[in-house]
Structure 1
């Protein structure tokens, strides 16, 4: 029988820490709103494992591989007792950690309790860890045609509270819907805004955070379920979030959150040439120019086509630099293709790109799309000649 290392190498599932930092977690919304019956370590380990799933090519036998070195780095474990702590965390996850998922059906609702990762395998003589998901959890991780949320794994790394993680996932779910319906339509303006300013009753929040029988005093609930988690989220993720309490009579009935996205630093791909006058202006004007480009991209028909072909996610649409890069470098090339082949020609091209897309391309989707259209346009032009 092959060793864990050999299996990992054969399936090319072992990831470096640098790759992990670029990974995104994609989950069905039913899983995000479920009750996570576990503490922060099993929950973060689950999110880390989910980030290794390529939904275009689901893992064989529901299995992914990680390295112990990267696991310890992700959890910032460096002491001599790290192997014992890792073993303890795995045992706790398998014995006591599960998701309680509630789904609405025609005749009512259905509750399902799932231990997400029943099998974790490692040894003392190499670095790899085998993680096998429960087959019942897989539909919530790979069957993602509708009602799913994507968020950055790097946002999760610094969150040290179970409640911070749960709240962050829920806020991401709402903000992603704001990004989606801002472009795709299908919702009234006030409904779209409600995704950026989502509301949840205290009762629902207690259920989701599994605190129905904890923090009975509202001041304690506010401190540990709202204030402390939001401090972490604002400090370590891409969101800035505030909240307000809504009273019904004398009691606090619900919480309204207000979510804004932090500015994202540009990378080299999105810098225009030095002679471009926009980039010779001061920093404020540069940011304003980028916002204008991103705004145009959000309204572009090409953005809708990318969404339809799952080449762009609502989460990525909140990245101002990414959208500005698409508008500046990719969409003009789509205009050229449209002039030669019509809008259906662009649709056919994107369908082909999606079919050929490799997992790594999602890490810099704008650069990948630019390369794909640059390679395709000369062929179209030669055919016309």
Structure 2
């Protein structure tokens, strides 16, 4: 297990309104209920904030009243749902690949919980690997972040899962996922066995909730190998025209506040970064150098990703102001 490292600017870049996760946790095969998934996401900003002052901390307090407010739930009965979710997370396991892609790790989401019934509080103790995946974001541990309000009103765990898988590729606007992986990721290997049912009750419901609660407009089509459906390709874009307009009106000759890179320099370095062998394992599976360069180009406009790529940028000749 890699040692946890502390990123000094992390708490500035990632406020309490953001859910931030290592991409390996998002990609990991897991089978969580809606309550379990909500609890893990609720912990995301708490774990980041509290490990800033105590990097070795692994027990975190969840208050029923705050959990209810976060997800728009009635307070009556919430504590019972929390207790059930905390209990079951100790029996639920997920598996992910290490950054070197050579080692596969299996770990439980939690291994201890303490209940203070009179206060409506639950203390949850997380394994070191889980804390690591919720706090360490660097060039070896790429990540995805999004506003927690985007998933707060979703009532389908499949919608949250699909949203996370897509928002990883928000800068590319397209992602192809094998059908077998989707079924495994959604926990539907033995349910919704016909493609009609899987699309109607899982994919279509998920897309409907994503479009109702987030800024994404999503469509998809099927890909076949012979007569069998092999994968689904999702295409998505921002619905917020104000955001798109602001991006398009940005002065391309003005250096970015954090790096000093103009848009022309970002485009140049993105193409060079996409061809670096040491970054190849971050490229989209089946994608071209151009596809990867598009992702990097948009990432370089984000302060957090800029810091990740900075060592490589300097090797390529970039000098920060």
Whether TM-score is above 0.5 comes out as: yes
**Structure whose alpha-carbon radius of gyration is higher:** 1
How far residue 38 of structure 1 moved from its aligned partner, in angstroms, is: 1.7
Q: 1:172 aligns with which of 167, 176, 179?
A: 167
How far residue 209 of structure 1 moved from its aligned partner, in angstroms, is: 1.8
Q: How far apart are the structure 2 equivalents of 1:62 and 1:264?
A: 41
Check whether the contact 1:23–1:154 (CA below 8 A) recurs between aligned residues. Answer: yes
**SS at the partner of 2:240?**
coil
Q: How many residues align?
A: 255
Superposition misfits of 4+ residues, deviation over 4 angstroms? 103-106, 314-318
Q: Residues 120 and 305 of structure 1: is their aligned pair in 2 closer, same or farther, counting only changes over 3 Å?
A: farther
1:98 and 2:93 aligned: yes
**SS at the partner of 1:54?**
helix
| Residue in 2 that maps onto 1:135 | 128
Q: How far apart are the structure 1 equivalents of 2:247 and 2:189?
A: 43
Q: How far apart are the structure 2 equivalents of 1:316 and 1:234?
A: 27
| Residue in 2 that maps onto 1:76 | 72
Check whether the contact 1:150–1:315 (CA below 8 A) recurs between aligned residues. Answer: no
Q: How far apart are the structure 2 equivalents of 1:87 and 1:306?
A: 49
TM-score by length of 2: 0.68
Q: How far apart are the structure 2 equivalents of 1:217 and 1:117?
A: 34
Q: Residues 214 and 21 of structure 1: is their aligned pair in 2 closer, same or farther, counting only changes over 3 Å?
A: farther
| Residue in 1 that maps onto 2:186 | 209
| Residue in 1 that maps onto 2:108 | 115
Gaps of 5+ in 1: 1-19, 179-194, 267-286, 309-313, 319-342, 348-385
| Residue in 1 that maps onto 2:225 | 248
**SS at the partner of 1:37?**
coil
Aligned pairs (5 A) from 1:1-12: none
**SS at the partner of 1:64?**
strand
| Residue in 1 that maps onto 2:259 | 305
Aligned pairs (5 A) from 1:361-376: none
Q: How far apart are the structure 2 equivalents of 1:264 and 1:76?
A: 27
Higher helix share: 1
Q: How far apart are the structure 1 equivalents of 2:100 and 2:301?
A: 32
| Residue in 2 that maps onto 1:359 | none
Q: How far apart are the structure 1 equivalents of 2:258 and 2:77?
A: 50
Q: How far apart are the structure 1 equivalents of 2:190 and 2:120?
A: 41
